[in-house]
Amino acid sequence: MGARPRPLYVIQKHQATSLHYDLRLEVDGVLKSWAVPKGPSTDPRDKRLAIEVPDHSLAHGDYEGPNVEIWDRGTYRVLGDAPMNQALAAGHVSVWIEGKRLRGGYTLQRTRVERSQQQWLLIKRRDEEATGDA
């Protein structure tokens, strides 16, 4: 069985106390994860809050169950020269997503760290996959 050419990307729609979307990116054998309350946008003018949550196992990327559905799935690649771990540590990650619903460039930009919670912004990059008046 061949290796996957690019790391996994998945978004799970999660109806918990309130509806949110869990963005997950495969990094070093785990799924780095962010809760995105309003879900991702394809409009570069929208800056969506993304709250970093604990890593999940790769197996969790296939999980669907009560109140959780796989909303989008595919692969991604890092844009730029820095490896993913360095980009995450620096607080600025740009990726190209190839999902069934979402495609194109997205940036995660850390805005602040409060106690154990890291807040980021998820922003669609201006490219051919963008919508709105971009």
Q: What is the pLDDT of residue 3?
A: 55
The pLDDT assigned to 4 comes to 54
Coil, helix or strand at residue 131: coil
Q: Which domain holds residue 58?
A: 8-124
The encoded tokens of residue 132 equal: 């709105």
Triad 21, 104, 8: Cα angle to 5°: 60
Query: What is 42-88 written as a DSSP string?
Result: S-TT-EEEEEEEEEEEGGGGG--BTTEEEEEEEEEEE-SSS-HHHHH
CA 132 to CA 82: how far, in whole Å? 30
pLDDT of residue 26: 97
**Does residue 2 form part of some domain?**
no
Work out how many domains the chain is built from and give that number: 1
Asked if residue 129 belongs to a domain, the reply is: no
List of residues 6+ apart from 81 with CB closer than 8 A: none
> Is 109 a member of any domain?
yes
In a domain, 50, yes or no: yes
Whether 32 is in a domain gets the answer: yes
Instruction: Report d(CA 36, CA 128) in Å as an integer.
Output: 23
Q: Which two tokens stand for residue 38?
A: 């309003």
Secondary structure letter of residue 31 according to DSSP: E
As averages over each run of 10 residues, the pLDDT of the chain (134 residues) reads 76 93 97 97 96 95 95 96 93 97 97 81 96 67
Q: Is residue 23 one of the residues assigned to a domain?
A: yes
Please check whether residue 131 lies inside any domain of the structure: no
Other C-beta atoms within 10 Å of 2: how many? 4
134, part of any domain:
no
